[in-house]
Amino acid sequence: MIMRPRLRKFALAAHIALSVGWIGAVAGYIALDVAAATSQDAQTLRAAYLAMGLIAWYVIVPLALASLLTGLVMSLGTKWGLFRHYWVLISLLSATIATVVLLMETQTISYFADRAADPRTSGDDLRALGSTLLHSVGGTVVLLAILALNVYKPRGMTRYGWRKQREEPRDKEFG
Mean pLDDT value across residues 33-58 = 97
SS3 content of the chain, % helix, strand, coil (to 5): 80, 0, 15
CB-based contacts of 168: which residues, under 8 Å, 6+ apart? none
DSSP state of 122: -
User: Does the pLDDT at position 172 exceed 70?
Assistant: no
Mean pLDDT value across residues 47-60 = 98
Mean pLDDT value across residues 148-172 = 79
- Round the CA-based radius of gyration of the chain to a whole number and report it: 21
Contact 38, 130 (CB under 8 A): no
Mean pLDDT value across residues 114-133 = 96
Angle at 66 between CA 9 and CA 113, to 5 degrees: 150
Count of all residues that appear for the chain in the document: 175
Average pLDDT, the chain: 92
CB-based contacts of 111: which residues, under 8 Å, 6+ apart? none
pTM attached to this predicted model: 0.89
User: Does the pLDDT at position 132 exceed 90?
Assistant: yes
Alpha-carbon distance of 156 to 150, in angstroms, equals 13
Structural domain count of the chain: 1
pLDDT of residue 148: 96
DSSP state of 84: S
Partners of residue 157 on adjacent β-strands: 85
CB-based contacts of 94: which residues, under 8 Å, 6+ apart? 142, 145, 146, 149
pLDDT of residue 173: 47
User: Does the pLDDT at position 170 exceed 70?
Assistant: no
pLDDT of residue 85: 85
Q: How many Cβ atoms from other residues are within 10 Å of residue 45's Cβ?
A: 23
pLDDT exceeding 90 applies to what percent of the chain?
78
pLDDT of residue 87: 87
20: containing domain: 5-174
User: Does the pLDDT at position 175 exceed 80?
Assistant: no
